[in-house]
Amino acid sequence: MNENMKDAQPAPAATAGAQETQWAMFAHLSVLLGGFVTSGWAGSIGFFIGPLVIWLVKKDTMPFVADQAKEALNFAITVSLACLALVVLTLLTLGIGALVTVPLLAIIFITAFVIVVIAAIKANEGVAYRYPFALRLVK
């Protein structure tokens, strides 16, 4: 059994209303928005600003949104850590590692984009989505 699966908690029941599912969808899409808006000056930090803000604002009033925002936040942190590790690897190899890390970064970004869009669609349908490759750091 995967280590992350042991720590995973069951998703809340799908009793979310329209406003709650919309906020949950925004939590997922904010990962993409944060990445696009801040990629030039803040790098991967921008990935988790949106889900963090939504989780902090809505965690006490909307349980479905809180769950999905935490899920998006965990995924964003995972993607940020992976990107940071690849950048450090590139720097440690004095740029030679870029032959490997740049294609890996492209794969990570494309995969993250697709998975986030799927998560946003599922959240908008009222289904609690679990990212397949996320470290569950925020509980």
Q: Which residues contact 118 (CB under 8 A, 6 or more apart)?
A: 129
Query: Per the domain annotation, does 132 fall within a domain?
Result: no
Query: Per the domain annotation, does 37 fall within a domain?
Result: yes
Query: pLDDT tens, 109-132?
Result: 899 999 999 999 999 999 999 999
Report if pTM > 0.85. Answer: no
Lowest-confidence segment of 22-26, 32-36, 72-76, 89-93 by average pLDDT: 32-36
Q: Cβ(38)–Cβ(46) under 8 Å?
A: yes
Query: Per the domain annotation, does 23 fall within a domain?
Result: no
User: What are the φ/ψ torsions at residue 8 (nearest 5 degrees)?
Assistant: -65, 135
User: Residue 84 is part of which domain span?
Assistant: 29-124
Q: Which residues contact 130 (CB under 8 A, 6 or more apart)?
A: 8, 11, 71
Q: Which residues of 61-90 are buried (b: 16+ CB within 10 A; e: fewer)?
A: ebebbbbbbbbbbbbbbbbbebbeebbeeb
Count the domains in the chain: 1
Mean pLDDT over all residues of the chain?
84
Q: H helices within the chain, ranges in order?
A: 3-7, 18-38, 49-58, 63-92, 98-124
Query: Per the domain annotation, does 13 fall within a domain?
Result: no
Query: Per the domain annotation, does 133 fall within a domain?
Result: no
Query: Per the domain annotation, does 81 fall within a domain?
Result: yes
Query: Per the domain annotation, does 10 fall within a domain?
Result: no
Query: Per the domain annotation, does 22 fall within a domain?
Result: no
Query: What is the C-alpha end-to-end distance of the chain, expressed in Å?
Result: 19
